[in-house]
Structure 1
Amino acid sequence: MRLNENILLLGKKVVLVPYTSEHVPRYHEWMKSEELQRLTASEPLTLEQEYSMQQSWRDDADKCTFIVLDAEKWQARLSPEESCMAGDVNLFLTDPGDPSLGEIEVMIAEPSCRGKGFGTEAVLMMMSYVTKLGLAKFEAKIGQGNEPSIRMFQKLHFEQVAVSSVFQEVTLRLTVTEQERQWLLEQTSHVEEKCYRDGLSGSH
């Protein structure tokens, strides 16, 4: 989605930046992990395929993706942005008949960044960002064995609506009522939106 290609969202624990070609080598290294392939239901890609995937993430109107950076490392500015990478958060517009519905997923790939609330803040920041674009319903599809992820989405007011024994996954859903919108605004009131390429981003 080109809409966010120059947007940087600065939170307390994480910074969300657009997925650029500079992030691909590190991302590719992560996705060699069998555990991450299983958790994300992904097939391993070649580096070349990963670069073309990054292009489609940027260009396709029905996908929005941000790379999740460790805010503490990023703000210290001691290392290139790629070394601050913690994971990613994605949104897909999955129903052409309902542009207000988005499927959201988050991956904290860097083991040292897990269990610190990075995923929670990244999902809140993504939801807050896209509700401004008119999204009002969110779905998350999570592998049945991925308890931490299921619990995280439940804490974010998602409710389980379906279980697929075929795909071994649980579908959780959140409809953003006025009350939920206010709650989301409160949870993300600290988030600053900046321009990604104006010298604020790590090594650029």
Structure 2
Amino acid sequence: MEDPVLREATASEPLSLEEEYEMQRSWAEDENKCTFILMDRHKDESQGMCGDVNLYINDMDDHSAAEIEIMVAEPSSQRKGIAKEALLIMMLYGMEQLGLRKYVAKIGEKNEASQRLFKQLHFKEVGRSTVFREITFSVQVSDLQRQLLELKKELVYSKYDIS
């Protein structure tokens, strides 16, 4: 996270090592956050960690909705379909394990690659923040049902274990 371009794309602040550890501890204990580390299967295990995918259940009035975000931080792991695959798997997990029915993504105005990705997944623009320079996208699980069911069928016969 020392790369300023990556920090801007993910709306992240630079953290000291101790702050990073503290953030990780708080995430592990927060029942309203869910995060999975992404691995690039084209790299060996010791070099494969390339990003993360996260869910935030932050609408206390609607526990069936969550904010979702993705980060593929390693440039050599980008543009391989990892982000799309991880988002679909995370949304399937959220739907089946957490009862989620709606996903919201907040994406920086300049992050055109991420905007294209979420649009491919049927997310629609629902708002803009000039203060934070970001666009809010949203999708109902019903709009993704076919893709998620196809993914589930594929996962049953694949190398993933989402249980």
* TM-score normalised by structure 1 residue count: 0.73
Is the contact made by 1:100 and 1:134 (CA closer than 8 Å) also made in structure 2? yes
Return the alpha-carbon distance in structure 1 between the equivalents of residues 42 and 153 of structure 2: 19
Q: Pick from 14, 18, 23: which aligns with 1:53?
A: 23
Cα offset for 1:52? 1.2
Q: Pick from 88, 99, 102: which aligns with 2:66?
A: 102
Cα offset for 1:102? 0.3
Cα offset for 1:72? 2.8
Match of 2:111 in 1: 146
User: Bigger relative contact order, structure 1 or 2, given CA contacts below 8 A and separation 6+?
Assistant: 1
**Residues 173 and 194 (structure 1), Cα distance of their counterparts in 2 relative to 1, 3 Å cut:** closer
Match of 1:34 in 2: 4
Is the contact made by 1:144 and 1:168 (CA closer than 8 Å) also made in structure 2? yes
Which amino acid is the alignment partner of residue 75 of structure 2? P
Percent identity, aligned pairs only?
47
Is the contact made by 1:124 and 1:188 (CA closer than 8 Å) also made in structure 2? no
Match of 1:157 in 2: 122
Return the alpha-carbon distance in structure 2 between the equivalents of residues 71 and 166 of structure 1: 38
Gaps of 5+ in 1: 1-30, 196-204
CA RMSD in angstroms, aligned pairs only: 1.5
Q: Pick from 116, 129, 132: which aligns with 2:93?
A: 129
Return the alpha-carbon distance in structure 2 between the equivalents of residues 72 and 167 of structure 1: 35
Return the alpha-carbon distance in structure 1 between the equivalents of residues 43 and 66 of structure 2: 30
Match of 2:34 in 1: 64
**Residues 56 and 160 (structure 1), Cα distance of their counterparts in 2 relative to 1, 3 Å cut:** same
Cα offset for 1:73? 2.5
Return the alpha-carbon distance in structure 2 between the equivalents of residues 180 and 89 of structure 1: 18
Return the alpha-carbon distance in structure 2 between the equivalents of residues 50 and 84 of structure 1: 20
Return the alpha-carbon distance in structure 1 between the equivalents of residues 90 and 24 of structure 2: 18
Match of 2:161 in 1: 193
Gaps of 5+ in 2: none
Equivalent residues, number: 158
Return the alpha-carbon distance in structure 1 between the equivalents of residues 121 and 151 of structure 2: 10
Cα offset for 1:152? 0.2
**Residues 44 and 94 (structure 1), Cα distance of their counterparts in 2 relative to 1, 3 Å cut:** same
Confirm or deny that 1:118 pairs with 2:82.
Answer: yes
Q: Pick from 169, 173, 177: which aligns with 2:138?
A: 173
